[in-house]
Amino acid sequence: MVNDKMHNDENLMPARHKRIIETVSNQGFVAVDSLAKQFSVTAQTIRRDIRTLQKLGFIQKFHGGICAASTVQNIAYQTRKNLYSEEKIRIAEKLSGFIPNHASIFLNIGTSTEEVARVLKRTKKGLRVITNNLNVAYMLGDKDDFEVIVAGGLIRSKDMGITGESTIDFIRQFKVDFGVIGVSGIDVDGTLLDFDYNEVRISREIIINSRNVFLVTDKSKFGRNALVRLGNLSEIDIVFTDSEPPEAYRQAMIASETKLVVA
């Protein structure tokens, strides 16, 4: 059993909570009684889980059950930063093996790409990093053998990302070896989704101006809905994730010749 402190702490994600989110992503609407039976707990325990997950923005509560959260608003940055943290580390470490020393790389906005930056700092030499993420710039800026180039534009206070027309113009000046991006959701047809139109426009330019495009995504993003279309799995060279995705997504990757790497 998960203790009450864990239920009330936004910065922790108990295993059952993760599995509830996955179940909702796969089924759309799930009844409370069905969840209680699935996890062999009481309905009262599931209702506590639901209150916590609703507070965090993962789900919406309806009479008798739950469904996926809003497609128009993302979870708060500080909450996302702590969710699936161990999985993000594994993903970042796996991706690091595909980046050679002395390469050029784009890193976009997102907690997964921030973890990639943290691992690259520890494992690589001589990288030239271009980013619209001030958290990444701050993290890598004191490494003597890295060259960090920061895009100009409007700073978003919620996550220190940089967006705007000047950001897009800046990124268009480069053609890099590797573009590393994250997303908020992946639809079953392979569509990549996010919440912020301005952020998506920048990610599009990273895809266009990278010789190799890597997507970093934990398993919770498969089946998660978001409003803005970013692109398609067919535009990604390698998907890095923490567990085998559902069969439909694996088939979409096979059809688009997108490589899957599971950490």
The Cα 241–Cα 216 span in angstroms is 6
Amino acid making up residue 116 = V
pLDDT at 75: 59
State mean pLDDT over 81-107. 93
Split at pLDDT 50, 70, 90, the class of 79 is low
Cβ(139)–Cβ(150) under 8 Å?
no
Tokens 């936004």 -> residue: 10
pLDDT at 255: 92
Tell which wins on pLDDT, 24 or 74. 24
pLDDT at 78: 62
State mean pLDDT over 165-180. 97
Domains assigned to the chain: 4-69 (1.10.10.10), 78-262 (3.40.50.1360)
pLDDT at 9: 42
The Cα 137–Cα 101 span in angstroms is 18
pTM of the model: 0.76
Q: Among 85-89, 149-153, 257-261, which is the least confidently predicted range?
A: 85-89
pLDDT at 188: 87
Report CA 197 to chain centroid distance, whole Å. Answer: 16
Split at pLDDT 50, 70, 90, the class of 8 is very low
**Alpha-carbon torsion 128, 236, 175, 100, what sign?**
positive
